[in-house]
Amino acid sequence: MEILIYGTVNSFKLILIAFGFTLVYGVSRLPNFAHGAIFVFTGFIAWIMMHKLNLPLLPAALLSLAGAALVGVLIYQVILKRIRGMNMNEIIATYAIGVAMIETFRWLGFKGTTFTLPVLFEGMLFIGDVPIDYQRLMVVTVGLVMLVAVWIFTKFTRTGLALRGIAQDERAAMMLGIDSDMTATLAMALGSAMSGLAALMIFPLGSIVVEAGYNTLIFALAVCMVGGIGSWGGTVLAAFVLGFLQVITVTYLATHFQMVVTLGAIIATLIIKPSGFFGKHKELEERV
């Protein structure tokens, strides 16, 4: 029972973390390796707003989400736009920017475990005999709301349909008057904001540490790889598989092995079926 509940919570954490990454990659084939950095960035910005500017939680959260989206837009407009299509350079450039952001925070003295965000609702309840606090329930709720929102957005709004159009066939979409750069910017903004949302949901459970940036990136990569890069259904399924796998590992082995399982999942997936559960790429394109 405990595994069931905490596995679900952990799975939704992973969904929150990975969905922004897979959105950006799915729409415009941009691997945003600064994803983890934006995650940490949002956490620290929210902290700064609350403790230095004495803002209440909600405005601080909204402003830091806007900040995350802005960073996403800037990364696209300043850097990625110029090197788009050069796969390797995209990875190296976004990763370098991410490292620069994370290490800047470290340099500014944001290290240790003294930085925490408050939870929205205090308290806990019991499901059966398993205690669970409201923040963890919030993670699940927000995750569900986000999934539904994204689904509605991409199915029923013009902008959302444009995103899907670009994702399916960039040239055809451009012929119909959809601006590729605009959608990529929008996707980066949305993806970064989602990363920020994940940060605001997950950081109150522990403290804000810079190392979370690197771990988040690995988790996001793991989920996307196992689910098939760019496939949204696959991402959700993979988040559940990995989420439960992690909780089971922690319960029966040790916390040490959590990362080993995650990394092992990536390696195993890439070797056995590189396109993931629902990858859209044809096998031949990746394999010889």
Partner 1 sequence: MKTGMRKERIDRGIKVRSDSIYALSSWREISYLMAPRALLVGGFLLAPLILYFFPYWQKVLLIVCIYALLSMAFDFLANYVGLVCLGGSFFVGVGGYGAALLNKYLHFSPFLSIPVAALGGAAFCTFFLLPCLPLRGVYFAIITLMYPLMMTRIIEAFELFGGTNGMMDISGFANPWVEQYFLIISTLVFLFALRRLAVEDIGLVIKGIKDNDQSVRASGINITVVKAQALFYASFLGCFAGAYLAHTYMWAGLSMFALDFSIIPIAATVVGGGGSLLGAVVGAILLVPLSEALRAFGPLRIVSYSLILTVVIVIKGEGLLNYLSRKYSQFERWVEI
State which of residues 205, 244, 266, 273 lies at the interface with partner 1 (CB under 8 A): 266
**Bridge partners (DSSP) listed for residue 125:** 132
Nearest CA-CA partner of 223 in 19, 43, 41? 19
- Stretch binding partner 1 (CB under 8 A), from 97-105, 112-120, 134-142, 201-209: 97-105
Site for partner 1 in 164-223 (CB under 8 A): 218, 221
State which of residues 53, 86, 144, 182 lies at the interface with partner 1 (CB under 8 A): 86
CB of 181 to partner 1, least distance (A): 16
Q: Is 30 in the site for partner 1 (CB under 8 A)?
A: no
State which of residues 63, 83, 174, 250 lies at the interface with partner 1 (CB under 8 A): 83
CB of 184 to partner 1, least distance (A): 16
CB of 222 to partner 1, least distance (A): 9
In order of 14, 17, 178, 208, the CA distances from 10 in angstroms are 6, 11, 37, 18
Contact 80, 90 (CB under 8 A): yes
Contact 12, 141 (CB under 8 A): no
Contact 249, 258 (CB under 8 A): yes
Q: Is 254 in the site for partner 1 (CB under 8 A)?
A: yes
Those residues with Cβ within 8 angstroms of residue 103's Cβ, 6 or more apart along the chain or in another chain:
210
Q: Return d(Cα 63, Cα 260) in angstroms, integer.
A: 36
Per the structure block, which two tokens stand in for 23?
């959105």
Q: Is 286 in the site for partner 1 (CB under 8 A)?
A: yes
CB of 22 to partner 1, least distance (A): 14
Q: Is 251 in the site for partner 1 (CB under 8 A)?
A: no
Burial 16-31 (b: 16+ CB within 10 A, else e): bbbbbbbbbbbbbbbb
- Stretch binding partner 1 (CB under 8 A), from 2-10, 12-20, 50-58, 269-277: 269-277
Task: Give the three-state DSSP class for 110.
Answer: coil
Residues lying near partner 1 in the complex (CB under 8 A) are found at 31, 78-79, 82-83, 86-89, 91-93, 96-97, 99-100, 103-104, 106-107, 218, 221, 225, 229, 254, 256-257, 259-260, 263-264, 266-267, 270-271, 274, 286-288
